[in-house]
Structure 1
Amino acid sequence: GNFVNKNGFQDEDGFANWSITVNPSGSTLNDVVVTDHPSSNQAIDQSSIVVYRTIVQPDGNIVKNPYFTLKEGTDYSVSLTTNPATGEQELKVEFLKQISNPYIIEYRSFVFVTNQPNQKLTNEVSVNGNNNVTISDGASSTVDVVVLDGSGTAVGDMGDIVFQKVNSENQPITGAEFRLWDKDKTTILREATVDENGKLTFGNLPFGDYILQETKAPPGYTISDELMNGKKITISEATTDATDPTPIVNEPNKVILKKANATGTALSGAEFKLEQNIGGSWNAIRTDESFVTNQNGEIEIDGLLPGDYRLTEIFAPPGYIVNTKPIPFTVAETAGGQIPDITLGPFINYTGSIVAVKQNESGENLAGAIFEVRDSEQKLVKRVISGKNGRIVVNNLAPGTYSLVEIRAPRGYILNTKPVTFTIPDEQEGNPGIIQLGPLVNYKGSVVLVKNSDSGDKLSGVRFDLYNEDGTIVKRDLTTNKAGEIQVTNLTPGKYYFVETKAKAGYKLNSAKIEFEIAAESAGKPTRIELTAVNYAKDDPNTPSTNGNGTNGTNNTSGPGNNGTNVRIEQLNLPETGDTDNAIWWASLGLILISVASISLLRNSRRQH
């Protein structure tokens, strides 16, 4: 039977239009492949290929049914190969299902012509299939070229152009794929891949303008916007005669990581490791390279293939905490074949910060305390003072162990010399936050005075005044309680003394100063100073001698405090309230004075006589 027919014509735009009738005899055929070899002075427009169902007219004429077309990929497949240097093409249309009716394949081709007369286009088509036996048939067709100026033709002397794909260092690279379009970018004339030397020749083409488009970049490189969209080139006598290829430069795709501190200042010296997700696990890649931020705080990584990656910091810039939070990113190829550059960040390196509040024992905030921040070698790092709200903030601390040491207390408070230690970690995932230290407490001094009798009984009702060192009274009429105690708190650092002003009834007044000192500093909460004083009963025969000072009794300290020294007792000649021995003393003194006066009068009388 007859298995293939072919005819063609040139339309008013200059395109050659071809029609191939497959299986006009209506045989039942399997594995049908239609192969077409057009002459090299034309280029098949693959996008124009359509396979139609047919109508057999009463006279036996076969025409296409314009309303019923086969579906590419389901009913048939198409492959088109082109020799980029010569323009020779092979078109294959394979029917994917058994056929038993005629079909018509239509397509058009772009025409290349010179200014010579009587030019022709030829086409040779063959059909192969089987119907219990292998069948083969062929047909050819010729079209005279009559249109020399149209969108479907290119006219001129034949020439070629040679390209070479290179990187930015002018080194040949392979793997790039290109398309060559007509000057209006309506028809693909050539498609090819560069050879092992990065070279590609487009030949047997009329002199004139064309559009060169890169459709696939070499691995690790990206396509420029110009080549992705299509770059105008010209085939001419010069390109045909050129001895050196025209270079086409590909830049590698770039991933740029920016590193900065919390204020936005670029940081150099941060080092990262690069990993790729392969089969669901992260694997270190390019381990022979160092990824370290430059003086602009940037790392540039070139030539990554499409895939999922992450960067993780392994060394921070000096003085900063390693930020171990991974930085994921994906390198992807666009539909246009580009691998866009990626900019990450800025990603932050942090320093350490602490905050604390200076308070007294009652929780009131204290201003004016001065602290030093010292490193592990006790070298001064910073000084800071508590503000009106007692708040202390220290920022920009490098990783390490520190101590916060008070060097001046708020006015009226004891210097707390106990260091507060804290550590800024070497690494942290993300922002380490602010370390909150506990309240930093300043204390005032306190003292308890215990009044005992000589027999050890606690004496209540004994009254004292409290003075500071220069004799200014601090508190009046402090009276011992049932336990024989006087307790005084909120004392500022300095020297003080108690003076007994009223003894308990039946006891002699102990008028000695009871001195003590509130230390200027203490490592933590100071110990309360404990003082004891003794009063003797008036009729006690064991009352210590006063040595003519008019006082008796003893005073001393017990327990720690008072700056580690004993209380100094100073005897004072003060009236002893309620002491009846004073009357006898005054009476005796009066008798002596009367006796002296009488003797003086007697002597004066004798002299007169």
Structure 2
Amino acid sequence: MEGDGTVSLVPSNNGTPVYHGAQEVFKFSKEGKKSKFNGLAIGANGEVAWAFNKGDSKKDKVGIYRWDTAKSEGERVLLSELPDGEFGSPNISSLVAGGVNPSDPTGEYYFGGFVQEKKGTYFTTYKYSGGRIVLVGYVQVLPHDSDKGNGDLVFSASGDMFVLWNDGEGDTRIVPVRREALEAATGGVIPHGDISKLKTGEGRYNGLAFDSDGRLIIQYDKGGKSYNYSIDPDDGTTLSDKVSIGVGDGSDLASCAAPPTLYVQKDVVGREKPSDQFTISVEGKGGTPRSSETTSGTGTGIQAAIGVFTLFKPRTYTIKETAANGANLSDYSTTLSCIDATTGEELPVTRIKDTEYTFVQSGADNHDALCTLRNEPKPKTGSVSWRKTDTGKKALPGSAWQIIPDAAGQPTIEVTDNTGDPGYSGRDKDKAVAAFTVSDLPLGGYTLRESTVPEGYVGAPDKHFTIAKQHSASPNKLGDIQNKPIKGKVTWVKTKADGTPLGGSSWTFTPTKPSGEARTITDCTSAPCAAGGDQNPTPGRFELRDVPYGTYSLQELKAPDGYVKSEETKTFKVTTDGATVAVGEMVNQALPQVSWTKTKPDGSLLGGSTWTWKPSAPAGPAVEVADCVKPSAEKCTGPDKDPAAGKFLLKGVKAGSYTLVESHQPEGYQLDPTEHKVAIKPTDAGKTVNAGAFKNQPAAGSVTWSKVDAGNDQALAGSVWTLSGPAGGAGARDLVVADCVEKDAASCTGPDKDPAAGRFKVEGLGLGKYSLVEKAAPAGFRLDTTKHPFKLAADHLDHAFAEPFANTRASVPVLPLTGGRGAHVFLIAGGVVSAVAISTGLLRRRRHRNLD
């Protein structure tokens, strides 16, 4: 910024300003008669700027100016006197610097100048707040008074303030003020941190600022021109050429960047000896010390601090601790942690040795690093070791442990198995699987408890041990701590649908996790039971012993005879040693039954038939089923299990398609050759499938014969016959059959159904043995009393006499002329007798049918 309020942007490359690179951005427009602008401050990422004008008033008033991106020029926001303070009335002409605190939510403008009071040089700090100027306080820059100084004001991102001072003779100082001290200031002297003293080039500086990498940028005027260059913030070494930036009358310099910073503090947790003290230090460029401080007294907590320092990226800084006043650092555990003071983000550090670390600011983001060196006395410690094995001394991976101190209030130590993985950060120092060594245990008694047991094993009992002095050199060796494998019992029951245990099944028993070979378990139905299988001799009840830990599946392999195999799969897990896992009941439905009946036409049962039962899908051998007629079902040893005549029952029929055909009918009845299809479905298990009721019609046969004249083989009409057969058959015991001579069979109303003369046909005869005898010969022919036997059977229902039966003519007697009886008398008498015989036969036949 120039004295007239013109503000220009000066670009640079790695700390080297661009020659004549200044580009005007805006101007503060004066409201007084003179322009004596100074105290330039850039805030809000370059969107806001502040300055003051010492030329706005002839009296002791100063103008406060503000610019933002919404305005073309900066405007005055206040014209005010400076408030009096501890060092008397201020001198406006001493104001030289300004800055904006980025951590302040309101972006308040700080400014001030140097005064000489009380044998010291101070920076009087003001801020513009709430529309007025407030005295913040005084920061000592020198322990003596000096009127040669000029300088500037810079803030870190977290709100730490840095007062830059230069005497024009090569002596430059950076005076840090912690934000906590700044916030607590009430107008008095403000505490400051370690002052960085730099040797720089001669010349009176009118502007000092930091760039984003921590370089200190210097501005000075010479020959009416303003020059900029950069120096190392650690030692003042020049880093760039001195470049004319293309403006004259430069009055101040400001930057949008906040430099990276470092603050180190010492946290004393405790002291091995009350007199022990510690010195902390920070080394910068080439190992040059930046600052150091030593603790004092016997207190704990934060006991010393150094900084705040501005850092130069990406330089490595060393943070160290050394013993003081006879302390021995080997008695202590030392740690260093660094965080971003604003965000709390953890920042990386590198451990060089127990008491030495390095810290580097790198990357695009700047951090205000707050680092804490922490000391606590090492307890007097020892170590313990043990090994986790099974009962066969085989190493068991996967265990975890707790070491529980006897002393009250001490935390439990969690121990997991170190198997050599690079990322392991637990307490086990032994990288071998299932081998443990835990060190740094304070002297005393402990209990070792297995908190995570290897899967499939029983946890080991607690083990008490003691850490004594000798265990600092050699661990307390507890030896092998063994786990026995988990084994349990598995039981299940095979039942009928009614819950009754059912013997005779076999099973597939398969380990699934961990996987293993399947076993076949067969029902033990009597003691002793074979080792390794079912140990329960009760049919249908199963018990497996010593079953190892794991998950298993159980499936029925073979169902008991006559039952449907269960398709259910049971899954279960053995998890507790000695416990019984009850899988539960596995129900079998009986295979379906098939029933049918054989009846007479009137529906009454009819015994004595035989059937062919044949599987068709899937195909299989046929079975002959004969009707069982017994006093009880137990005596039915064949396929039919129903002892009632005419009733059939097949048991244990598997699902499928079948055919049922009568292969032999009851005696006296016709064979039914119909093929009946029977379908048995899986859902028929436990049910009886009714195949139906099948009727048999009584067997009916016939007989035919013929009557001829023996002399010429011509058919003879008019004969009458007696047909004798089985009682209760379709025909009467003695049936009289007269020759029917009509025009057609429909006109034959008697037993003979053949209308031709001399030809006979009798139908509707039951099966059995018969005899045929001529009862009356045709007129004029001799009677033939020969019996003609025949038999009607299932395979011979129609009998035909192949040869006709012949009658010979009767001789006619010669009647004397004296009046003896002529032949016609005998013929008439014979006709009468024949008519009576036929009538008697028909009557007997009708009565016989009524009896049936």
Aligning the two structures, in what range does the TM-score lie when normalised by the shorter sequence? 0.3 to 0.5
> Structure with the greater relative contact order (CA < 8 A, sep ≥ 6): 1 or 2?
1
TM-score in terms of structure 2 length: 0.34
TM-score norm. by structure 1 comes to 0.43
